[in-house]
Amino acid sequence: MLKSLIALTVGLGLVAGSHASAQDTWEAGKNYFLIEPSQATTTGDKIEVVEVFSYACPHCNEVAPMVADLKKRLPANAEFVMLPAQFGFSSWQTFAKGFYTAQALGLIEKTHEDMFRTIYVDRKLDIKSPTFASIADFYAKYGVSAEDFIATSNSFAVKAKLKRNEELIKAYGVDGTPTFIVNGKYRISGPSAGGYDKVEPLVHYLIEKEAKGG
């Protein structure tokens, strides 16, 4: 999506501790890329791990189980953050606006997996030209009225996050999804890692690198 991505590696199961054995093989400029200048994080004293994704991205749907496992297995000194890409496409912008509205209402943890399922399994939301009303109706299943959802989407906070989102993705140098950012300093993808099954060990390697002072 937006950039030629290699086919997803089958069998995304990861062996615990595999990141340690691969440390000597990771190369800057090949497996991961330095972000210059590095960007501020939002996770306080924890190392930030960002997934740049979109509900409109089929690749993101396919790797969602791997990402869920990565999130669950992060060490205590790291925290996971989702960043919905827009890339100037109206459908991606609509899903990003829905994401930040849902986040403001405390709905993301309840709805993230279901959103992918609704789009790609149930096919109840159109990824090419979704209406914001249809997205509001989706989130209305989780205890907020569609009217309140739409009203929240027009808040200053949501608009500010959408603006900052575009600035941050540009600063990261992201041109495709899914892409992963570690602590505002390192950018990686499935292809750069050598396959999506290598993303988690590479993320752990970079977390360890940061914990030791970069």
Q: CB-based contacts of 110: which residues, under 8 Å, 6+ apart?
A: 142
Q: What is the mean pLDDT of the chain?
A: 91
Longest dimension (CA), the chain: 54
As a whole number, mean pLDDT of residues 136-141 equals: 97
Which parts of the chain fold into alpha helices (H)?
18-21, 58-72, 90-104, 108-120, 132-139, 146-153, 156-172, 190-193, 199-211
For residue 23, pLDDT beyond 80: no
* Structural Rg of the chain based on CA atoms: 17
Name residue 18's amino acid.
Answer: S
pLDDT tens sequence across 65-118: 999 999 999 999 999 999 999 999 999 999 999 999 999 999 999 999 999 999
28-211: what fold? Glutaredoxin (3.40.30)
Q: pLDDT by residue (tens digit) across 31-42? A: 999 999 999 999
Query: What pLDDT digit, counting tens, does each position of 195-205 carry?
Result: 999 999 999 99
**Domain extents in the chain:** 28-211
Question: Across-strand partners of 188?
Answer: 180
Position 138 confidence tier, pLDDT thresholds 50, 70, 90: very high
